[in-house]
Copies of this chain bind each other. A is one copy, B any other.
Amino acid sequence: MMSYTNIKEEAYIANMRLPKLNLVLFTFGNVSAADRAKGVFAIKPSGVPYEDLTPEKMVIVDFEGNTVEGNLRPSSDTQTHAVLYKNWSDISGIVHTHSTYATAWAQAQLPIPIFGTTHADHLTVDIPCAPPMNDEMIKGNYEYETGFQIINHFKNLELSHKEVEMILVGNHAPFTWGKSAEKAVYNSAVLEAVAQMALLTQQINPSAPRLKDSLIQKHFERKHGAGAYYGQE
């Protein structure tokens, strides 16, 4: 039972950041951290308050969604995580929250327009909003289908999940991901900040223009391009 210590610890730390970043109320969120070599991920147990979490309580699940280790039931959103890990082989962390502003955009069923450089520092397109699923998908394996709804929306929009690490699921709430659980949590906090700023921007100026292409490219490349010069790496 000494196995999976690394991803349990990583998932624990990442989960504990959600309440500190004001991204969750009670248990309305979950983070997972994957070990690609072992083909599993560690995820928060379902409905356990953050103050009662420990690294040991994390549940180990494989990419088919089967529990591999752990006494507690994994997050009810586990199947969504499993589908994303299975189909997107280069991500190793996933976050789901019901953070206030991002969820409001999801409920409004609208993508978040790219209004400024805070947004462009992280992605070059509007933050996508997948439509609610059809009734058959909802009545079936709901969380499993949620994963495919996300993947299919990226295919429809011809987006790369390596360049766009976040989505709103219509009527529901956001999912974010990244190369690590820590990066996925970072993306959730960025999404919430961008979602709030975008709403305020439209309230100040209902005809505010989207960011022009040259600025979009410049800011994204500052952080992510071949000649990136943001940060210390």
Residues in A lying within 8 Å of B, measured CB to CB: 25-26, 28, 45-48, 72-73, 76, 98, 100-101, 103-110, 115-118, 132-133, 135, 138-139, 142, 171-173, 186, 189-190, 193, 196-205, 208-209, 211-212, 214-215, 218, 222, 229-232
**Are A172 and B117 touching (Cβ within 8 A)?**
yes
Q: Nearest-CB distance from A131 to chain B (Å)?
A: 11
- Tell me the complex Cα distance, A208–B104, Å: 10
- Tell me the complex Cα distance, A230–B108, Å: 26
Task: List 16 extra interface pairs beyond A104-B203, A107-B201, A110-B205, CB under 8 A.
Answer: A25-B190, A46-B231, A47-B231, A98-B117, A100-B200, A103-B116, A105-B204, A106-B116, A108-B204, A108-B205, A109-B205, A109-B209, A132-B212, A138-B214, A199-B200, A199-B203
**Are B197 and A76 touching (Cβ within 8 A)?**
no
Listed from nearest, the 3 A-B pairs whose CB atoms lie closest are: A47-B231, A104-B200, A108-B205
Number of copies: 4
Across-interface contacts of A201 in B (CB, < 8 A): 104, 107-108
**Are A199 and B189 touching (Cβ within 8 A)?**
no
**Are A26 and B186 touching (Cβ within 8 A)?**
yes
